[in-house]
Amino acid sequence: MALLPPFIRAPRASRAARNAAPHSTAAGLPADDEVLLDVPDERLGPALVAAGLGAYAPAAELMAHTREQAQWEYRDRYATRLASFALSRSEWFEEWRAAAPRDPDVLLVSAQLAVDRAWQSPARAELLREVSPLITAAAQSDVRDPVPWRIALDHARGAGAGHKYFGELWAAAVRRAPHHYGCHVAAKRYLAASWHGSHRECFDFADRAAQDAPAGSLVQALPARAAFAYLTDGCGPDVPRERLDAAADRAVALSARFPGLDPWTAEIRNLLTYVLVRLDRRDEALAQLRLIGPYATSFPWGRLSDDPLGHFLAVREEVRSGPSGQPLWHPGNGHGGRARPLDH
Cβ contact 111:103 at 8 Å: no
Residue 3 contacts by C-beta under 8 Å, 6 or more apart in sequence?
49, 52, 53
Reduced to 3 states, what is the DSSP secondary structure of residue 296?
strand
According to the model, what pLDDT value does residue 185 have? 98
Give pLDDT, residue 341: 54
Query: Residues 73, 114: contact at Cβ < 8 Å?
Result: no
Helix (H, G, I), strand (E, B) or coil at 13: coil
- Whether the CB-CB separation of 134 and 114 falls below 8 Å is answered with yes
Alpha-carbon gap, residue 45 to 65, rounded angstroms = 15
CB 218 within 8 A of CB 269: no
* 10-18, long-range: CB < 8 A, 24+ apart: 10/34, 10/35, 10/36, 10/37, 10/309, 10/310, 10/313, 17/313
What's the confidence (pLDDT) of residue 117?
Answer: 95
Q: How far apart are CA 251 and CA 70, in angstroms?
A: 25
Residues 259 and 269: their CA atoms lie apart, in Å, by 12
Give the pLDDT of residue 193.
Answer: 77
**φ/ψ of residue 238, rounded to 5:** -65, 145
Sheet strand arrangement including 36-37 = 8-9, 36-37, 295-296
**How far is Cα 275 from Cα 44, in angstroms, rounded to an integer?**
28
For the chain, 344 residues long, the average pLDDT of each consecutive 10-residue run is: 41 45 69 97 97 98 98 98 97 98 98 95 91 98 98 94 95 98 96 76 96 98 96 84 98 98 97 98 98 98 97 97 58 50 50
Of 312, 299, 310, residue with least CA distance to 340: 299
pTM of the model: 0.89
What pLDDT does 327 receive?
A: 52
SS3 at position 67: helix
Residue 295, strand partner residues: 36
Angle between helices 72-88 and 44-52 (to 10 degrees): 20
Q: Max CA-CA distance within the chain? A: 60
Gap between the Cα atoms of 104 and 110, Å rounded: 10
How far, in Å, CA of 117 to CA of 341, rounded?
18
